[in-house]
Amino acid sequence: MKNSSRTVSRITAPVRSAAQRFAYLMLVLGGVGILVIGRVDTLMMERVRAQITDAVAPILSALSTPVDTVNWAINEARQIYDVHGENQRLRAERDRLLQWQAAARKLEVENRLLKGMLNFTSHPNASFVTARVVADSGGAFAHSVILDAGERAGVRKGEAAVTGDGLIGRVSGVGSRSSRLLLITDLNSRIPVVVESTRVRAILAGTNTDRPRMIHLPTGAAVTVGDRVVTSGHGGAFPEGLPVGVVSSADDGIIEVQPYVNRDRLEYVRILDYGLKGIIQSGPDRGTR
């Protein structure tokens, strides 16, 4: 039995070797033939290629369908997870806003009652001029910018300038078509302010840094980090209640304030006119437009 197996192997081995050699040769010849036919008869090759593509396309489509389905399912699951997280965040924000709404309504009623008891007359609505910052003339020793609005636009010296975030400074010089805005961080800036929660009054003094300081506080005044600082309205230079910033540090009697407005991002400012005479006069027509 073993001898017969060996005999068969000896007979078939040369056949297999020859078949392998001829198979390789046939593949090479077939490839050359296809190239030649493709050069000679391009239309026929296009038809053959189209038929092969038509035959293979359903197979490829069937193979790709599960992959596309899995990818779609993964994307849908990811979107559902993101929507769930966004829904939770929006619910928490809604609850927080409802709390603030209730507090605001309570304060509104209380404010109206107190005004009635004090026979309080509110300030008239302010007129304003919107100006664009065209140059930053400040540096290490001065913090000021140039605006493209002047007397012709109704700008007057001493008026407060704000952005959507809060107070940025006051007009220190006015020309016909331009004006100079002294920022609250400038060394020459002095603004009467008050801590909103405790009503502690002080003067906000610029230091030529990004954080002005509160000076001239009453003895024993308590100021903590995070307290909101607004204008007090004293001296008639600024209206009361304009947001200025928050207390960023209160160490060793040095109280620094982080302004709401970032000087590096100034593009447009709003110059307010509340009709206040103030402590800065620009001429006999001050307060008129």
Could you tell me the maximum CA-CA distance found in the chain, to the nearest angstrom?
131
pLDDT tens, per residue, the chain with 289 residues: 545 555 656 666 666 666 666 666 777 776 666 666 666 666 666 776 677 676 766 666 666 566 667 777 788 788 888 888 888 889 888 888 888 888 888 888 888 777 776 665 555 567 889 999 998 866 667 789 999 999 999 999 989 999 988 999 999 999 999 999 999 999 999 999 999 988 999 999 999 999 999 999 988 888 999 999 999 988 777 888 899 999 999 988 899 999 999 888 888 999 988 776 554 454 444 444 3
* pLDDT confidence of residue 282: 46
Question: Domains in the chain: how many in total?
Answer: 1
The DSSP bridge partners found for residue 207 are none
Is 146 part of any domain? yes
Cα angle 173-176-181, degrees, rounded to a multiple of 5: 30
> Does 137 fall in a domain?
yes
Return contacts of 74-80, CB within 8 angstroms, 24+ apart. Answer: none
- Asked if residue 55 is part of any domain, the answer here is no
**50 lies in some domain:** no
94 is a domain residue = no
Residue 280 lies in a domain: no
Residue 286 has what pLDDT?
Answer: 40
What is the enclosing helix (H) or strand (E) of 161?
A: strand 160-162
Residue 79 lies in a domain: no
Domain CATH number, residue 234: 2.40.10.340
Domain span at residue 163 reads: 127-273
- Confirm whether 254 is domain-assigned: yes
Q: CB–CB of 171/164 below 8 Å?
A: no
